[in-house]
Amino acid sequence: IEIFRCLYISYQSRDDWKAGEDILRCNANWYRRGPRYDCLLFNSADASLACARLRSLIRCKLPSGRIVDVAMVNSMRRSTWRSRNHWDGSVVFDE
């Protein structure tokens, strides 16, 4: 088992079709300033858009030689709270 503290992601923007990169971090002591656990948006089977906080990145090497990468996350649920400047399509999540 190998544990990682960050994940480099390459993607193509749907707004302007340009390539982009991002880093997702999960670190209990980031630069000695305390914990940093980034949030992420993803497509789920239950809803069109879901939000979660990244807790751990794990790579498992199985006896068969197969490698399985796992992200441990805390899922967030949609909130019923609405801000005064709410706009169509905006979503608020509770941790």
Domain-by-domain residue ranges, the chain? 2-77
pLDDT of the residue at 90: 78
pLDDT given at position 94: 86
Q: Where are the beta strands (DSSP E) in the chain?
A: 2-4, 6-12, 19-27, 36-37, 39-42, 50-61, 67-75, 77-78, 93-94
CA distance 73 to 62: 22
Q: Which of 82, 59, 24, 25 is nearest to 94 (CA)?
A: 82
pLDDT tens-digit readout, 45-82: 876 788 999 999 999 999 999 999 999 999 998 888 88
**Nearest-CA neighbor of 71 among 5, 15, 17?**
5
pLDDT digits (tens, 9 = 90+) for 8-44: 999 998 889 999 999 999 998 888 888 999 999 888 8
